[in-house]
Amino acid sequence: MPYTPLWRRRAAVLVSALVLLSGWTATSASADPAKPSAGGGPDNWVGTWASVPTATPATATPVLHDQTIRQVVHTSIGGDQLRLRLTNEFGETPLRLGEVHVALRAGASGTDIDPSTDRTVTFGGRTSATVPAGAPMISDPVPLALPPRSDLVVSIHVPDRTPVSTLHAFSYQENVVAEGDVTGDRTVEATETLTQWHFLSGVGVRARSRVADSVVALGDSITDGSETEVNANHRWPDLLAERLGHTGVLNLGIAGNRLLHDPNPPEGSDAEDYAAFFGQSALRRFDRDVLSQPGVGHVIVLLGVNDLGHPGTTAPISETVTAEEIIGAHRQLVTRAHAAGLRVYGGTILPFKGDSLGFHTEENEAKRQAVNEWIRTSGEYDAVIDFDEALRDPEDPLRLRPDYDSGDGLHPNDAGMAAMAEVIPSRLFRPGAHG
């Protein structure tokens, strides 16, 4: 056996300790970076699924008590082990969870599991977890062969009476609640069906390729999948994952999200019942939703339409922003991504003339044009993805193409989502690509 100098052995111990402390990071690796994984190379943890956690409005907070919530997530990249990221980031008290199980879904619909793939998830070796107030929690690695673009079922038992203070409100995926601890059951009897994700914000995998990485789609409701078919996985990030294959695609879109402002519904307005679901501003959530993702290498930014449309509708008119302020926010995202060594791509804002939400005005259109011109010509993004050009109506470029319009003049339908995914150059995500 070759001699290893003492300083090198001490350095290895220090590196191992730092890796154990880092947990869920963009540079996650094995405790011993030199130790081969089952695939023959060093461990490479990559995000395969994610969602944005938000607070819940005081008037719309669900409560669970001795119930299991069974949730389905559609993965992107595959691997031979996985980790869950649970979240209590908007909770004001610790969140006590009972058993947590993962399994592959049995069949193409519903929430039944394949019992041969059922695994108990542990946290520091324990089969239950208490997630501190205001914090996430990362599970231990779970040995499970997870195919790419598969449906993973995550079952969480909540033993105590627990307000659901942290969730993702618009999953476009049917999940169920059942009585008692049925986390390991093949089939559960649903007492409620919902289209939200509770206490779950990420799944990472140990990728089979040591060069695999992930791309974060940072956006609003258009990225989140608004108006797409429920249970179909027709959000444009899902369809992009089908094209790429080798890259994790993480949907960090959130309905109603803005670049510059957190939710701030006018007092007495209907928006007080739902605005909390819009999530923290992109500038505020960037570190959590982008930089903390395992294996992240790229970011696609599609944001700005709500900064234009919300003031005077679901936000105070005093939060009206200029095109220059929106551009300044984009510049900050570019700067912060580059500081972390990520490549970042700018998506142009889609047209919304004739929308039913009251967003379109001549002033807002002029701002959209100015922001899009900057995205296309400034050279500050590493590449431009021209969603506007791909989805606008040739007969009236200020509107969505009729065959891509969900009906509200703002959100693309499933066909529009496919067109968005198709316009993104796959060459951007090849290992070693430079845009």
Closest by CA to 90, choosing from 262, 261, 259, is: 262
Q: Is the dihedral of CA 83, 89, 90, 94 positive or negative?
A: positive
Asked if residue 81 lies in contact with residue 140, where contact means CB atoms within 8 angstroms, the answer is no
pTM: 0.90
Res 228: pLDDT: 97
How many Å separate Cα 119 from the centre of its chain? 24
Q: What pLDDT is recorded for position 209?
A: 86
Sign of CA pseudo-dihedral 26, 30, 35, 41: negative
Query: What is the C-alpha R_g of the chain?
Result: 22
DSSP 195-255: S-EESEEEEEEE-SSTT--EEEEEESHHHHTTTSPTTS--SHHHHHHHHHSSSEEEEEE-T
**Cα–Cα distance between 32 and 43 in angstroms, integer?**
9
Average pLDDT for consecutive 10-residue bins of the chain (435 residues)? Answer: 37 37 39 33 87 92 96 97 98 97 96 98 97 98 97 98 96 98 98 97 94 95 97 98 94 98 94 96 98 97 98 96 98 98 98 96 98 98 98 98 98 98 95 53
Indicate the SS3 state at residue 331. Answer: helix
Name the DSSP class of 329. Answer: H
